[in-house]
Structure 1
């Protein structure tokens, strides 16, 4: 397939309508060409929700961890950084293995090692052990991206977008509900109990997948591990779909991170002064938007991925208007959260559907490379949001988020004009 980096709209249509890339590599995919069943897709979504939640469990538990291990409150935040660092390393060095090894075996191994790492967190008696265990938790949590890539492989071309949308909804549910669940379990069994319970659930899900997950066929790539890693960086140069969709990912997740990093500040401060539990309930509003965005995958299957992207980016930009009125209307804040989460996840699902269609033989490497854009955007958004709020307040934060969103929309418009 000839791909022109200056004409992504045409590329999107070709990838969505013809499925030529997928057809060319069909022998490398699962022999179950009928595609994924709803039950198997549901299991993959639950697996992703459980795995990604492990990365975010610590956020509401930091104070308890600090008291238990006699660590200064100003230092305990490194726990979150350690987990994210492990996740970033896993994206580059573990996720690509899905194109080299048996994916079923890789997924099950990661889940069992996740359980071991989670138990290590629960048993940690000193600062160094806790940090090391949290790095391993993040490292193994990238099983999420291996599962997403395997979903794209097992799904038939006409259901790929819908299947990815469903599994991605599981990822979002895990992120948004992790804080609420960890707080509830910690109230009953302490912060260590959160990790022991999660470890047991990971083992249980691994057993379920062992019995139900389709067997992986011969991996699509042969050669050495280091050559495989080198090919990940080559994808940035050779795949215009990855560059275009990665740029969208960087910008939308920067906006996403701006909201979810800074929103606790005005909500917990006077005149609102909401409790942690009340603030956590805003995650439920985000869930509503994320679930609605699962439909975006179906639109991508119908050849409407590029149009869906434009509409979603417009909604993302507009979502910051009601969000700016948080001090006068919590309902306006809820509306803004729903719109933002819907828009971000709609673009995210569409992005993945299109990059997988472009290179079905490199799906694990593609998702690892793509998620690096996500990591950069999330990190930049978090740093910019806290700095902006400290110096200029909540309205400035909303302007910052709208700026990221508006740049993404303008980029989409530019690509549309240059593709005609």
Structure 2
């Protein structure tokens, strides 16, 4: 109880949870911002985000990342979740659960590489809208969040510019900042109903050939590259289809997810294996020139991949297919050299968006694309089966 009171005092906006079986809305505490993993290594794992965190925290009341989470979520109306008024206390004895909601940052990738006439900077921040049970110390539900930018400059960017890029990706109010994505997802998030099956990305593999096209920090760390692909797939599936996913098994060590709230409270949350799992593989990237004029050169950038969606206990596959996707891009003739990874990242995202459209009930999808992209002859029936499974997992 004393530890929870510190959450109430330090995080400005605290709420309590009292869940009843027939309640229309579950009451939950908004706990602000947190770093995933061991806080002792947070500064090395999230160097730019951590500097932003310390800078805004020192700026005073109302400026910290947690304070911005609170202010950005004021007025949100969600029929499934009720955020209690500021200053409310949690009665642990009177409830079976004590739900808390937090924006947890799970990864930061900042990479700058020289491409002849310019420098290309890649920034990717990933996180989760995490709902956990304070009382049982277990993850209840997560909604993956991911934001990416590419920045080109004629000279190598300064540390100040890199810092500004990351701060903007955290706090921007244009709808693409991580806090904005969190607020948008909170407005539509739901808690699992009794008996709801859970989803999880279990295994991701990036071939050595494909890995060679990733930014340098990810080339040095294949696990980080795999995690980025897992988060990209999970965030797109979640946003398009409206399904939550448990934290990827890649990010949860030994079934435990660690994090620290801004007020200093540490948590070790148990993460169970999902009832239904996804395995993903990025096999190959392809770049093919299709046209050349005085204005520029047209290329098709492609990706070849594999996707498996299955129930592990009985070994039942719902989806098991190779997938490929291509997108056209024109490189200006004045551009001396080009960076392929932004195009490859876009073609991966485009592939998962297109495929997710087939999993949306009543959604419009490109049937010609699916016929050309999927290797499985029965892909339409696979998609129908998967759509029914995902509907029951919301």
Q: TM-score, normalised by structure 2?
A: 0.31
The structure with more strand, counted as a fraction of residues? 2
* Bigger Rg, which one: 2
The structure with more helix, counted as a fraction of residues? 1
Which structure has more RCO (C-alpha within 8 Å, separation ≥ 6)?
Answer: 1
Q: TM-score, normalised by structure 1?
A: 0.29
